[in-house]
Amino acid sequence: MDYHFVYKDLEGASTQWDDIQRKLGNLPPKPPTFKPAPFAPADDPESKPKDKSWINDKTEEELEELEDDQDLDDDRFLQEYRKKRLAEIREASKVAKFGSIIPISGSDFVREVSQAPPDVWVVVILYKDGYAECGVLMGCLEELAAKYPATKFVKIISTDCIPNYPDRNLPTLLVYNSGAVKANYVGMHNFGRRCTPEGVALVLCQSDPVLNDGQSGGDASRERVLEGVRKRFIDKVVAAHEEDEDGSSSD
């Protein structure tokens, strides 16, 4: 019995003779050698290094689930940072209650203002549509309401709040806490020649922690708010001065 052995080289392999024939044009060009695509691991969030930024990206629910994470149990710093971050998220969600100016009617006043919790400061603007000064002050309060969501801002048409309230007194701000009036500001002259959010904030916080920064209450919060307001005020003055200089130099 004859046995015929056929030796087959690796697929894609080429002999020296084949290479010569290809140079002479007697054989077609050699097909390109197959190369697999480079390995690229999937973007797995669990493959990210476990550090502070990894903790910061987690939601409250995810941080709670990490309580039994073995890796965190072995890393005391990360475990402590997880607890701190979780406490910060819970405190922020508890503080951030409002964030905008709430329109109310006369019948809402007692519930929304007088009966507000003692840890909530309420700023009430008495206004009427069509009065330019009311619009200016309202714009300032809208910015402050968004920046300090722990403070409650409400607006009410003046005569809905106080029957026959004189239009010459508009706009008027009332500041309430624990059901009592702590301050009142009648007219725009209280906020300077140019009414700005920073100017209004300085007036509101001149003696009480009306605006809360969300970190804590009391005088510490008031001082931090005032420091931030002063810095923003100075930054605006400097920016306006630089714009004036640029404008005058181009004339």
Among the listed residues 165, 159, 130, 125, the one whose alpha carbon sits nearest the alpha carbon of residue 142: 125
92 band by pLDDT with thresholds 50, 70 and 90:
low
Output the CA torsion sign for 122, 128, 129, 134.
negative
Domain count, the chain: 2
Among the listed residues 154, 161, 175, 160, the one whose alpha carbon sits nearest the alpha carbon of residue 102: 154
Q: Do 56 and 147 reside in the same domain of the chain? A: no
Tokens of 194: 């140019």
Please say which residue of 62, 95, 128 terminates a domain: 95
* Peptide linkage before 117 cis (omega within 30 of 0): no
In a domain, 124, yes or no: yes
In a domain, 19, yes or no: no
Q: Do 81 and 105 reside in the same domain of the chain? A: no
Q: Do 86 and 165 reside in the same domain of the chain? A: no
82-91: average pLDDT:
76
pLDDT recorded at residue 44: 47
In angstroms, the CA 81 to CA 96 distance is 22
Q: Do 77 and 159 reside in the same domain of the chain? A: no
Give the CATH number of the domain where residue 146 resides: 3.40.30.10
Gap between the terminal Cα atoms of the chain:
108
Q: Do 86 and 151 reside in the same domain of the chain? A: no
Please say which residue of 68, 95, 122 terminates a domain: 95
What pTM does this model have? Answer: 0.57
In a domain, 245, yes or no: no
In a domain, 241, yes or no: no
Q: Calculate the average pLDDT of the chain.
A: 78
In a domain, 70, yes or no: yes
Q: Do 111 and 72 reside in the same domain of the chain? A: no
Please say which residue of 64, 95, 126 terminates a domain: 95
96 band by pLDDT with thresholds 50, 70 and 90:
low
Residue-range definition of the domain harbouring residue 83: 51-95
In angstroms, the CA 56 to CA 66 distance is 13
- Per-residue pLDDT tens digits for 97-149: 788 999 999 999 999 999 999 989 999 999 999 999 999 999 999 999 998 88
Q: Do 124 and 184 reside in the same domain of the chain? A: yes
> Strand pairing partners for 180?
177
Q: Do 117 and 202 reside in the same domain of the chain? A: yes
Contact 54, 48 (CB under 8 A): yes
In a domain, 5, yes or no: no
In a domain, 214, yes or no: yes
Q: Do 126 and 192 reside in the same domain of the chain? A: yes
- Per-residue pLDDT tens digits for 139-197: 999 999 998 888 999 999 999 999 999 999 999 999 999 999 999 999 999 988 888 89
22 band by pLDDT with thresholds 50, 70 and 90:
confident
211-218: average pLDDT:
62
Helix or strand or coil: residue 176?
strand
Q: Do 110 and 80 reside in the same domain of the chain? A: no
In a domain, 79, yes or no: yes
Q: Do 183 and 88 reside in the same domain of the chain? A: no
Q: Do 106 and 181 reside in the same domain of the chain? A: yes
Distant-in-sequence, close-in-space partners of 207: CB < 8 Å, separation ≥ 6: 183
